[in-house]
Amino acid sequence: MRCKLFHFASRTSSPGQGRGFFRAPLPNWTLAIFLSLALFGFTATIRAQEVASQEVATPKAASQDASGTISGTVYLPGSNQPASQVAISLKSHDAGVFRSVLTDYDGHFDVSGLPAGTYDVTIEEQGYQTYRSTAEFDGSVLKLELHLAPLLPPQPFQSANTVSVRELAIPGKAKEEYRKGLVSLAKRQMVQSLKHFASAVRAFPGYFEAIYHQGIIETDLGHQDAAMQDFQMAAELSGGRYARAQFGMGYLYFLQGNAAQAESITRRGLELDPDAADGYVILGMTLLRLNRLDEAERSAREALLRDPNKADAYLVLADTCARRQNYQEQIQDLDTYLKLDPTGPASKRAREVREVAQRILDRTQSQSEAH
């Protein structure tokens, strides 16, 4: 399995453990805010530390059985016309494989080097229903014929009523204060944003989205107890159905060093929202803390399957590589992170760590050549 990601070392790690470069304090929040939808991501505040390396760990060799091929053709609905430039995702939990490929002009795709296993096949193409199927692969050759389906006509009465019941209960003043809070948060005006969210909650005490965002700000300000209260309240007011509140609590437990609790509550959030890339990043960080590297890598790849531009996932991958002393892969993942988020909060440290990894890689290669 190819190694990918960043090093979030435990505060309790001794200098000889892991040989990683990203040390405590652990991740700060990176905020990507939209007026209609606010998402949060996590990245690392890191301290570069060069360590002596006496040998280069041999990358995990690909399984000799990973020689099979899954291919096929995707067709547009209602015709035999091929669907070109459509993204196909192949995912096998038992084989530990996560691959994504675009169809060619003729709607064809071909993925080689795959081991046997049960594969989830997913197509998410704008304007069509999400395609999902499962295929049993024996490790040799499998050819698929996939047909996209048109979007179903909207169901205004059922869906609109479901949403509008609560929407109509939220006063206009509360909605406006919430909107202002998001705008201020996008500008990193934390105190002002907190005031707007508080006003929104006063106008509508059940506004769990505003309470959740209060938790984001309190976390950014280092007020972990207040943040935990906000996330817990948001979860309770939503009837336990607001996944982001679970992720917020999971992240705080991670910061507090309670990895077991962090894993449990983050997985609970992913059960509510299995497509949340942020949740998989937090879970990956937590699994790294638990020294479960393979699982952490898989979690990061789950995040990238859902959001290929999720820069923070590459920090998790780079950390996995650092612990395995696979510095070449670590450098590649850091480069990808910097390409996706060149001016982010962790970009300066990522460049510093990349330089350290490069020096160690150069040194070990020189030592290898000398022998």
Peptide bond before residue 25 is cis, with ω within 30 degrees of 0: yes
**pLDDT (tens place) for every residue of the chain, 371 residues total:** 444 333 333 333 333 333 333 332 233 333 332 222 222 333 332 333 333 333 333 333 334 456 899 999 999 887 778 988 888 989 888 778 888 888 888 899 999 989 998 999 999 887 788 888 888 898 899 999 999 888 765 544 444 344 457 788 899 999 999 999 999 988 889 999 999 999 999 999 999 999 999 999 999 999 999 999 999 999 999 989 999 999 999 999 999 999 999 999 999 999 999 999 999 999 999 999 999 999 999 999 999 998 888 999 999 999 999 999 999 999 999 999 999 999 888 889 899 999 999 999 888 888 877 76
Which is it for strands 131-137 and 38-43: parallel, antiparallel or unpaired?
unpaired
165 by Cβ neighbours in 10 Å (0-12 / 13-18 / 19+) ranks as exposed
Distance CA 42, CA 286 (A): 12
Which is it for strands 141-147 and 68-75: parallel, antiparallel or unpaired?
parallel
- What pLDDT score does 66 carry? 66
Indicate whether 195 and 321 sit together in one domain: yes
Within-domain flag for 13: no
Distance CA 234, CA 197 (A): 13
Phi, psi at residue 57, to the nearest 5°?
A: -65, 135
* Other residues' Cβ atoms within 10 Å of the Cβ of residue 90: 23
Residue 86 near residue 74 (C-beta atoms within 8 A): yes
Within-domain flag for 62: no
Nearest C-alpha neighbor of 122 from the set 262, 274, 263 = 274
pTM over 0.85: no
SS3 (DSSP) at 118: strand
**How many domains does the structure of the chain reveal?**
2
Query: CATH no. for residue 73?
Result: 2.60.40.10
Distance CA 341, CA 300 (A): 16
Residues spanned by the domain of 79? 68-138
- What pLDDT score does 153 carry? 59
Indicate whether 322 and 360 sit together in one domain: yes
Nearest C-alpha neighbor of 22 from the set 35, 11, 33, 37 = 11
Query: Which two three-digit tokens encode residue 179?
Result: 């909107």
Nearest C-alpha neighbor of 266 from the set 82, 42, 1 = 42
Distance CA 369, CA 140 (A): 39
* Other residues' Cβ atoms within 10 Å of the Cβ of residue 277: 21
Indicate whether 236 and 289 sit together in one domain: yes
Describe the crossing of helices 224-237 and 243-255 by its angle, rounded to 10 degrees: 160
In single-letter form, the type of residue at position 107 comes to G
Residue 98 near residue 110 (C-beta atoms within 8 A): no
Indicate whether 42 and 73 sit together in one domain: no
Within-domain flag for 144: no
Indicate whether 227 and 128 sit together in one domain: no
Within-domain flag for 20: no
Within-domain flag for 149: no
Out of 138, 155, 188, a domain closes at 138
Indicate whether 226 and 82 sit together in one domain: no
Indicate whether 226 and 91 sit together in one domain: no
Indicate whether 92 and 227 sit together in one domain: no
Following DSSP, what letter does each residue of 186-213 receive, concatenated? HTT-HHHHHHHHHHHHHH-TT-HHHHHH
Within-domain flag for 152: no
Following DSSP, what letter does each residue of 289-334 receive, concatenated? HTT-HHHHHHHHHHHHHH-TT-HHHHHHHHHHHHHTT-HHHHHHHH
- Secondary element (H or E) of residue 277: helix 277-289
Indicate whether 362 and 288 sit together in one domain: yes
Indicate whether 101 and 188 sit together in one domain: no
Phi, psi at residue 233, to the nearest 5°?
A: -65, -40
Residues 6+ apart with CB under 8 A from 2: 59, 60, 62, 329
Within-domain flag for 153: no
Query: Which two three-digit tokens encode residue 132?
Result: 């999902």
Indicate whether 123 and 172 sit together in one domain: no
Indicate whether 175 and 121 sit together in one domain: no
- What pLDDT score does 97 carry? 85
- What pLDDT score does 99 carry? 87
In single-letter form, the type of residue at position 209 comes to E
Describe the crossing of helices 327-340 and 347-370 by its angle, rounded to 10 degrees: 150
Query: CATH no. for residue 344?
Result: 1.25.40.10
Within-domain flag for 198: yes
Out of 121, 138, 155, a domain closes at 138
Which residue is it, tokens 């993925």?
Answer: 111
Distance CA 51, CA 325 (A): 11
Distance CA 259, CA 310 (A): 23
